[in-house]
Structure 1
Amino acid sequence: MNMNPIEKNIVTVAGNQNSEETLVFGHGFGTDQTYWRLVTKAFSEQYKIITFDNVGAGKSPPIAYSNNKYSQLQSYADDIIDLAENLQIKDATFIGHSVSGITGMLASIKAPELFSKHVFINASPRYLNDTEYIGGFEQSDLKDLYNKMQTNYHAWVSGFAPTFMGNPEKPELAIEFANSLASLRPDVAYTVCKAIFESDHRKDLIKFNKKSLIIQSIKDIAVPVEVGKYLNKNIKDSVLFVINADGHFPHISAPEEVIQAIKTFL
């Protein structure tokens, strides 16, 4: 169905409304735009800030979601293009966590006028190990993950959340992530999770030529440091910044490190 992208993605426009520089923040799997709250405040005086919820996540209308359409990451990239064009964004900086790092890149390849800079935070072009490529997972790992999701979704959430969040000394972070995952429809979570983990966008890196910052946690069970190095090697105009952070969500667990890296880049 055709839907206004601002309503479909629950787009929020904040920060300095008069600024000519715009930062667009895209969230990762199992989270929503509220996960940027600790980072965006550091940029709100100087930049216009755009946040949004991916379809199937956060407060995005359930009617906008289709298992068939959103089984490919390009559909999320097309949504980014739609909302950016609706807001008449040009030459902005796209800051994407995890899967949104890649969907932001795909959007930029298709509509190069929208974004002039990209920030990838714990993002991966492929999660599966391959010949001479370390992605972090074997197919058997994913098969086990999918099986647990389908057998007892809420039991899966209780194990998945603390493992991916890390930072066991801050249990409140894992609880927040678990609550966020639990709010998703299990069938939507399964389809989105599979679309992410089965994706392979390594060849798209060749088509991408925007100035980029790659922020990588030193310890992340989902995206090992080798993936950050791979992105850095294959994105021509990029710099890798490995931060002293534990887990897949450094913008929540180590926001000051992320803020400093982005400020230095900008």
Structure 2
Amino acid sequence: MDIVRRNNVTVTGREDGPVVVLAHGFGCDQNMWRLVTPVLAGEFRVVLFDHVGSGDSDPSAWDEARYSSLEGYAQDVLEICRELDLRDVTFVGHSVSAMIGVLAAPREPERFAGLVLLAPSPSYIDDGEYRGGFSEADIEELLESLESNYLGWSSVMAPVIMGNPDRPELGEELTNSFCRTDPRMARVFARTTFLSDNREDLAGVTVPTLVVECAHDTLAPREVGAFVRDRIAGSTLVTLDAHGHCPQLSDPGPTAEAIASFARAR
């Protein structure tokens, strides 16, 4: 299959600039980067794509078995890099895509100059001293609600995930993005996202890594950012004075500057 068509790959920015790949989270698509991309495009070659099952990706490429694991998405990232012959990539993964990057980079570390993990969570479920932000019962209830009424779940949860209640247009945008996603595919991606546990995979990352957390995030509490930083050797943690889980929309300027500063140093 044509990988560019499969993942709706788009390339913009400086043709000879350092490569930055932007990967979106659950329920979103590459449009979620639209406020960050113009800032980066003057200096970097920016590669965007839609995960299979999201945005304008090819729906015929979706396979439940492949995408019931984050490994399937990580393999897609590597195939995109091979198809475009991308080297020295700064991979920016938002939310679940942060862990997709964590899985992809150790497979072919020679392709990656570094990782930016934006609002990451290696596990959403509390476990002993680890605080993921949710109990196992919380996650099961969330998934049951999603599976029984995806559109209703989207209209309730998207504004909570976005935060910034004083800017309701942001929550509406995320709601609309969720609602554009095929519910059948979204249900599988949701289970993959919220039930994956990638805590042990963090130690396998050997490329330079920047962890970017938001000061007020309902999905990824501050303890998670510190946990990721502590388990990826040599990584750095930056806290944005931002509310919600999607700073590329709510605080695009500081988010773009954090990405650019890190990518320049590679």
- Please report the TM-score for the alignment, with normalisation by the length of structure 1: 0.97
Size of the alignment, in residue pairs?
263
- 2:2 aligned residue: 4
- AA matched with 1:174: G
- 2:55 aligned residue: 58
- 2:158 aligned residue: 161
1:17 and 2:15 are equivalent in the alignment: yes
- 2:147 aligned residue: 150
Deviation digits for residues 158-182 of structure 1 (CA, Å, limit 9, x no counterpart): 1011110000111111111111111
Q: 1:209 Cα deviation (Å)?
A: 1.2
- 1:85 aligned residue: 82
1:190 corresponds, among 184, 187, 190, to 187
1:131 corresponds, among 106, 111, 128, to 128
Unaligned runs of 5+ in 2: none
Q: 1:147 Cα deviation (Å)?
A: 1.6
Q: 1:154 Cα deviation (Å)?
A: 1.4
1:231 and 2:233 are equivalent in the alignment: no
- AA matched with 1:138: S
- AA matched with 1:40: T
Unaligned runs of 5+ in 1: none
Q: 1:18 Cα deviation (Å)?
A: 2.3
Structure 2 distance, partners of 1:153, 1:100, is: 21
Q: 1:150 Cα deviation (Å)?
A: 2.0
Structure 2 distance, partners of 1:185, 1:149, is: 12
- AA matched with 2:81: A
1:96 corresponds, among 93, 97, 100, to 93
- AA matched with 2:122: P
Q: 1:116 Cα deviation (Å)?
A: 1.4
Asked if the contact 2:109/2:206 (under 8 Å) is kept, the reply is no
Q: 1:258 Cα deviation (Å)?
A: 0.8
Structure 2 distance, partners of 1:37, 1:69, is: 28
Structure 2 distance, partners of 1:208, 1:150, is: 34
- 2:24 aligned residue: 27
- 2:249 aligned residue: 252
- AA matched with 1:263: A
Q: Does 220-229 or 254-263 show the bigger shift? A: 254-263
1:201 and 2:208 are equivalent in the alignment: no
Q: Does 74-83 or 35-44 show the bigger shift? A: 35-44
Structure 1 distance, partners of 2:98, 2:148, is: 30
Q: 1:138 Cα deviation (Å)?
A: 0.7
Deviation digits for residues 224-248 of structure 1 (CA, Å, limit 9, x no counterpart): 1110000110111211001111111
- 2:71 aligned residue: 74
- 1:44 aligned residue: 41
Structure 2 distance, partners of 1:214, 1:102, is: 11
- AA matched with 2:9: V
Q: 1:87 Cα deviation (Å)?
A: 0.5
Asked if the contact 2:115/2:210 (under 8 Å) is kept, the reply is yes
Structure 1 distance, partners of 2:176, 2:152, is: 12
- AA matched with 2:64: N
Structure 2 distance, partners of 1:259, 1:165, is: 18
Q: CA RMSD in A?
A: 0.9
> What SS does structure 1 have at the residue aligned with 2:40?
coil
Overall identity of the aligned pairs, in %: 38
- AA matched with 1:187: R
> What SS does structure 2 have at the residue aligned with 1:42?
helix
